[in-house]
Amino acid sequence: MSATDALHPPVLFAPEHEEFAQWVREFAAPHAESYLERAHREEFPWDLAEKMAAQGLLGLGVSEENGGQGRIGEVLTKTHLGIAHEELAYANFYLSQLAYTNDLTGPLLERFLAPDVAKDWVRGIVEGRHVVALGLTEPGSGSDAMAMRAKAEKVDGGWKLNGEKTSITFAPHAKAMITFVKARGATPEESGVTAFLVPLDSDGVSMQKFPDAGWKPLGRAGVFLDDVFVPDEYVIGGVGNGFRLVMSEFDYTRSVIGLMSTGVARKALDITIDYVKSRKAFGKPVASFQGVSFPIAENATKLEAARWLTYRALSLADAGRPFTKEAAMTKLYATDVSLQTIRDCIVAHGHSGFAEELPLQAMLRDVSGLEIGEGTPQIQKVVIGRALLGREATA
């Protein structure tokens, strides 16, 4: 094996990764111009979902049998998913959000529902016909799966669900929600945090939509469950296994959020570089002033560091090694650096950067949403602290 053959992320992308990135980049580029217009509207981007489905970008991680590009570890890797999300976010944040949710829920349903039950749901996701939301967060407990109060009681043929989920992205437009609740069966073995697939047109489901500064096309809502019946075949991964499902995905989703953030911030930086090279003051381009060029240099360096920290986390995942600490570091650092980069880009534009005619304000709002998703910065610091100091020292 040559030295070149031995290189792989996070040192250097292999040729297959470069080709994959180019494939995604070429698809995403024509959709960049529509980002700002969409950011101001609440209309769900079904047209984008249809085009992404035709490209195969909503089936990453789903088997070819169900219309996908292949399961992770068999055809694709988590590094491939990270590349896809970064390239999509650079062009248009809403492309990356569609991929993020659909490329998470599709594989989950395919793996943990019976094949005859999963087929239509998974194919609908892969083909862009519907979306399935993730319902973990609750008022008062946030993303703490063990502190949730929503519950399920065993009844003939299934379960009755009661409780409230809050801040659920995609909920106003979703066909169903993967809902995590505390199930109570006849025995302890038939109890515990459990994931259910809940069609949102079921009797007893109601919703309150939230007005948000960002993420407008995606929608966010509180979902209320009042004696909602869910059949046994819609239990995902078995009774009592919901907590394991949640924790097994957190590290991956936090890593991907890091790349979505840096993708948006890199686009903001490129827009700003073009601007300061053409904008003149005192007879020369403002790029010639160190007060302009130094923040650009600093932010570019930090974004590059954040990107490769994320690819290291995903590479550890692909190697089958623990990456909880690295995923938390990624989410903490990448979102912080990305937000600071966008703020500096706004300043470099002067008052025009503050105007809605440019995409920078929308980018700031959308990345702010990423910063608080899947655990706030404070939660990431807790995770990192526990990894470094031990649970007993940080209890």
Q: Are 117 and 234 in contact (CB under 8 A)?
A: yes
Residues in the chain: 395
User: How is residue 113 written in tokens?
Assistant: 């529902």
Q: How many CB atoms lie within 10 A of CB 205?
A: 18
User: How is residue 233 written in tokens?
Assistant: 């075949």
- CA separation, residue 176 to residues 62, 90, 132, 394 (Å): 18, 29, 5, 38
Q: Are 93 and 134 in contact (CB under 8 A)?
A: no
Catalytic site residue 153?
no
- Which residue, chain included where needed, has tokens 């909880």? 324
Half-sphere exposure of 229 (CA within 13 A, CB side): 6
Of 86, 138, 371, 374, the active-site residue reads 374
Backbone conformation region of residue 32, classed left if phi is above 0, alpha if psi is from -120 to 50, else beta: alpha
End-to-end CA distance of the chain: 47
Q: Which residues are catalytic?
A: 374
